Amino acid sequence: METTLRGVGVSHGVAIGEVRHMGTAVLEPPAKQIPSEEAPREQGRARQAVEAVAADLMARGNLAGGEAQAVLEAQAMMAQDPELMADVERRIAVGSTAERAVYDAFAAYRALLAGAGEYLAGRVADLDDVRNRIVARLLGVPMPGVPDSDQPYVLIARDLAPADTALLDPTLVLGFVTEEGGPTSHSAILARALGVPAVVALPGASELVEGTLIAVDGSTGEIFVSPTAEKQTELARAAEERKAALAASSGPGATSDGHKVPLLANIGGPADVAAAVEAGAEGVGLFRTEFLFLDDSTKAPSEEKQIEAYRQVLEAFPEGRVVVRVLDAGADKPLDFLTPADEPNPALGVRGLRTLLDHPDVLRTQLTALAKAAAGLPVYLEVMAPMVADRTDAKAFADACREAGLRAKFGAMVEIPSAALRARSILQEVEFLSLGTNDLAQYTFAADRQVGAVSRLQDPWQPALLDLVAASADAAQAEGKSCGVCGEAASDPLLACVLTGLGVTSLSMGSAAIPYVRATLAKHTLAQCERAAAAARAADTAEDARVAAQAVLSGE
């Protein structure tokens, strides 16, 4: 009998296949005591396992590239954390085995992070994966992971570790469904990069029976269990229609009546450029520069290293627009040489621009490197600061850009409600705004973007969030300046139409989503988009907003 479940669709497409479950978690090692003379040997085993796991994570990152590489390199740094290793060795010295010491040391660190109010929930999940890999190596058992199968399947998991998601084989894994996670979790972001249909935050996903046939709609978040032949045909037909629309769509982003909406790519480094170019991106709307700073958490990369990386990206978009976000350190992206280790609430503490203003030498080096990388190139370089709260922040950033001799447009990210509410004030100091809808939702609803239990409040269709987008876009229009969206909201084709109707002037997204958004925009006029936006803002819930916008755009 066919039944329908609903989670959060995070990666477009339809997948129909049999359920295969992720391997179970590593068992807790026994708590047995060892003689003191065995401690040095056990400490050596622990060090070797840690180094082996860190090397494996780095290797996986190098293979995957892009977003995945930055995530996996951060995990490798977790494995090698000197404080954690010191705790492991201390526990071994008082009688624990290597595997038990690792298990307990990571548990203590996990409890510490969780005690900070789950603001680091995403990092906790990654920490668990690192622990499991080290313990599995010490126990001599295979690391639980993606099932071994010769036939394509739909992968079901409580959550997916970045190391597993990054190297999924799309020819075998038709799509995946997770019980936890949210629309901006690592799993969701990497799924979009892979182009694999995915649904997250589905209650009871782990209870789906192995071998059951299911259909996954990554656009709507619907899961059809034991779908009828008619339902399968309907979904397959819809998927073919989407493919045909994508194939017929090319060129710059625009509505059917010619209103231009530049479609840009979010990238995490040079490795993401090829996919952006192939997707027809008109430039880069969000160039995340954190990847350069993850190689060594003890010091910033040299000016020369930064110039080389920036130039690779800038050269790929001659005559195009490239928007670079300066380093966004802090919260779930800590760096030893920049961010305090004892902040009680890092997500609300010193992060983003606040961190850089506390370390002006790091900001100056990055801005100087960007200026030198762009020298002589016909690219339209724009540089923006993360976590701008008010006009004072915006002025400090603009002043730093000018002092570094940067010939580019200076902008501010709108990720804090205060920036949206006072956008006209901020635009007295900078030339453009870029809405980071992921963090803007997090701070608007006090809902951690990595916690599946509050994923409904991370839904970018929330009318309150649309109100803040509208306020920012209205302010930019009044000042004769631009206001783009670079959060994951832009990757939803239907929502892209609504954002256009709200007055957003450009959309930036993961490269895989660009063809879907281009094709959908091309079906509707600007007036239709404006009516859909008004209908969505008049709703009381995210679901009602989505339904209302869909009704307008489908002519119902």
Q: Which residues are catalytic?
A: 186, 486
User: For residue 203, how many other CB atoms are within 10 A of its CB?
Assistant: 13
> Side chain identity at 335, as an amino acid letter?
L
Where are the alpha helices (H) located in 23-171, listed in sequence order?
39-64, 66-79, 82-93, 98-114, 121-139, 162-166
Distance (Å, whole) CA 346 – CA 121: 12
Q: Is 113 helix (H, G, I), strand (E, B) or coil?
A: helix
* 97 Cβ neighbours under 8 A, 6+ residues apart: 29, 30, 32, 34, 42
Instruction: Give the HSE-up count for residue 269: Cα atoms under 13 Å, Cβ half-sphere.
Output: 21
The residue length of the chain stands at 556
Distance (Å, whole) CA 338 – CA 290: 13
Q: Is 224 helix (H, G, I), strand (E, B) or coil?
A: strand
> Side chain identity at 455, as an amino acid letter?
S
User: For residue 116, how many other CB atoms are within 10 A of its CB?
Assistant: 15
Pair 347, 380: CB distance under 8 Å: no
Distance (Å, whole) CA 307 – CA 173: 38
Reading the block at residue 124, the tokens are 């906790």
User: For residue 14, how many other CB atoms are within 10 A of its CB?
Assistant: 24
- φ, ψ (nearest 5 deg) of residue 31: -95, 75
